[in-house]
Amino acid sequence: MSESVFLESSHSFVDKLLDLDNEMKAKMCGKGKSADEIYQMYFDILSLYEKSSILPLNESDKLLLQDKKEQLDDIQSKLEDLKKNM
């Protein structure tokens, strides 16, 4: 695979993943969502970011996704703490 095709496919994948992330977050803001539904959505997004870590992406895209995953790890930990205190 040529480098330009590799970079283009890497960016395309990352853009689609970020779009999905934003779409899921928008759904979480909708009315009538239970804590369990929101927790599951965060878990699903986190799972996608974890799976993306094994894909052949360029370094900047890997770092971006790793940062997003770390943010979600933090949010998931806070959600678990909230769930325990309920």
Q: What is the pLDDT of residues 24-41, one digit of tens each?
A: 778 777 777 777 787 787
Q: Which long-range contacts (CB under 8 A, 24 or more apart) does 50-53 make?
A: 52/13, 52/17
pLDDT of the residue at 32: 77
Range of the domain at 66: 3-84
> Span 54-62, mean pLDDT?
84
- 72 C-beta neighbours (distance < 10 Å), count: 20
Using CA atoms, how far residue 9 sits from 17, 23, 44, 52, in Å, is: 12, 21, 23, 13
Give the number of domains in the chain. 1
Cα–Cα dist 27/23, whole Å: 6
CATH of the domain at 22: 1.20.58
> Is the pTM here over 0.75, yes or no?
no
pLDDT of the residue at 1: 53
Confidence of residue 83 (pLDDT cuts 50, 70, 90): confident
